[in-house]
Structure 1
Amino acid sequence: MPPHCDSLDGPVVTAARLALEDKDVDHILPYVPREGEPEVREAFGLAGKARALGPTAQDVADRWFFETVVRVHRAGEGAPFTGLKPAGLDLGPVIPAAERALDAGSADELTRVLCETVREQTEDRLQRAMALRKHADEGVAAAREYVEAGLGLQVWAHRVYKQATAASHAQ
């Protein structure tokens, strides 16, 4: 996953920030798995107490709470926590398009971005294999290069297909 859920401007930290500001843990709970809820509730309570001790304590408590909720969120995804990432990272075209699709209730832009990317990658990989095919009869090394490109195209296409037909993230 691109650095999104673990970035300081990502949806998890945004919800955690809102939870702290509103003093309402329910803002962050949808982002953590059920089994992580007790830890997040405890961290929320401790962060709330520490925040009352002054601006420096508030900064430390907020950062610790963000790290806790992102770590618990990532564990729910089966992914490691590698620290909070800075805000403003380049997410590429897909995450923003997916966010706009959710806002608009339309898949048009996201579908276009995904289809264009798959089309470009498919054409590039096929063209590479076809160019190597022209020289495949020039020895084992050339044949091997063609075979690797051809099998690479097939494996890549299979992975794209498997990912496209896999269960959704939330299941």
Structure 2
Amino acid sequence: MKVIYPGSFDPLTKGHMDIIKRLSQMFDEVIVAILNNENKKSLFTVSEREDIISEAVEEENLSNISIHSFDGMLVNFAKEQGIKLIARGLRGVTDYEYEKDIARVNSTLYEGLETIFLLSNSSYSFVSSSGVREIAAFRGDVSTFVSPSVEKKIKEKFNY
């Protein structure tokens, strides 16, 4: 059984990796799908994010993870892949309220598409990529939120 774990992953956080590791234990294949959202100013290019995730997956010895990027709607990507299962991580109630509506729309647009939700580990329930980007923009310490390799790449981006 295959599942898609979509997101911007800009940057990849310890919370993202926790979800990826847990999904890898539950499914035969996990497709980490990086959204290329041109409406958003990204810290890392899609190619850089693919490399970062690939390195993190390799460090964890996760052999059933593949990394793809996509433009446009997730339902179209899911159709192209022939997959009817999406996984989303939830940090709290606000995430749930947002994600449940998207899940309903997606299942309307692609019949049979299901979304499962995984509660984030409480250690990461307050971590967000946007928060990490903001801390990094002020040259703050992001080591609690990202792996050492991601921290290094963030420091290179911000020249500190």
Whether TM exceeds 0.5 here: the answer is no
Q: Which has the higher helix share?
A: 1
Structure of greater Rg? 1
Tell me the TM-score normalized by structure 2.
0.27
Tell me the TM-score normalized by structure 1.
0.26
